[in-house]
Amino acid sequence: DSGVTQTPKHLITATGQRVTLRCSPRSGDLSVYWYQQSLDQGLQFLIHYYNGEERAKGNILERFSAQQFPDLHSELNLSSLELGDSALYFCASSVHEGGYTEAFFGQGTRLTVV
Amino acid sequence: AQTVTQSQPEMSVQEAETVTLSCTYDTSENNYYLFWYKQPPSRQMILVIRQEAYKQQNATENRFSVNFQKAAKSFSLKISDSQLGDTAMYFCASQGGSEKLVFGKGTKLTVNP
């Protein structure tokens, strides 16, 4: 158990809908990262939050947004869903930014858009 | 920009034998870190081994070791005494100053009894 909790584990929804994925980082970790794993694109970085502030954005679509709350949990919001958004979405957390910090991954949320 | 390339989509090895997974990378960072992650069927991402680029000595973790060739930008993973539980997807990744991980496409390793 990495200590990072993601909910839900599985999600099936229809095209055009909106979903929210939740991530609770390890106790004491200030950084949260979101990654998308799909068959065609592999594992891709979406966004990084540190202590409530957005730090970096990767290949995140405009239909997607995220935030990190004062209690440090994070949510990834996906809207106007398309079939191609079907993927495994990982959250990872680490202690701090700067230098090497080991990222601990949650078990992921499997999103299926039908 | 960082890129990571894994040229072996699939590999197989007999139990108790040794296998080497290849990875090459490109980065403009001076300080960076390299990792191998394992993703078993449970889909959990598990850190196998890490290497700090400023260290010349190759990292070792029990049966797992790396061959880090900085000039060639190569970072291969050697698994000795392969076990059935080593069957998984293996991802090579790099991390620079931006802290995000950049992953390769992965190598599917099957350990045969």
If you ran DSSP here, which 8-state letter would residue B18 be given?
Answer: -
Cα distance between residue A88 and residue B25, in whole Å: 24
Closest CB to B103: pick one of A31, A43, A99.
A43
Residue listed under structure tokens 């858009």: A113
- B34: nearest CA partner in chain A: A100
B96: closest CA of chain A, how far (Å):
8
pLDDT computed for residue A2 by the predictor: 85
Residue A98 has pLDDT above 80, yes or no: no
Closest CB to A100: pick one of B33, B98, B102.
B33
Cβ-count burial of B107 within 10 angstroms (0-12 exposed, 13-18 middle, 19+ buried)? buried
Asked if A107 reaches chain B (Cβ–Cβ under 8 Å), the answer is yes
Instruction: Give the pLDDT band of residue A97 (cuts 50, 70, 90).
Output: low
pLDDT computed for residue B77 by the predictor: 98
Residue A18: partners with Cβ closer than 8 Å, 6 or more residues away: A77, A78, A79, A80, A81
Instruction: Take residue B33 and report the two structure tokens written for it.
Output: 């870190």
- A34: nearest CA partner in chain B: B100
- Cβ atoms A15, A79 nearer than 8 A: no
- C-alpha to C-alpha distances, B45 to A61, A63, B76, nearest whole angstrom: 24, 26, 18
As a whole number, the mean pLDDT across chain B is 94
**pLDDT per residue over B38-79, tens digit each?**
999 999 999 999 999 988 899 999 999 999 999 999 999 999
Residue A80 has pLDDT above 90, yes or no: yes
Q: What is the DSSP string of B74-111?
A: EEEEEE-S--GGG-EEEEEEEE-TT--EEE---EEEEE
- Cβ atoms B38, B103 nearer than 8 A: no
CB contact under 8 A, B95 and A42: no
**pLDDT per residue over B2-39, tens digit each?**
899 999 999 999 999 999 999 999 998 888 999 999 99
Residue A96 has pLDDT above 90, yes or no: no
Output phi, psi for B86, to 5 deg: -80, -10
Cβ-count burial of A75 within 10 angstroms (0-12 exposed, 13-18 middle, 19+ buried)? middle
**pLDDT per residue over B91-113, tens digit each?**
999 998 767 899 999 999 999 99
Residue A109: partners with Cβ closer than 8 Å, 6 or more residues away: A6, A7, A8, A9, A10, A11, A21, A88, A89
pLDDT computed for residue A93 by the predictor: 94
pLDDT computed for residue A39 by the predictor: 85
**pLDDT per residue over A38-78, tens digit each?**
988 889 999 999 999 999 999 899 999 999 999 999 999 99
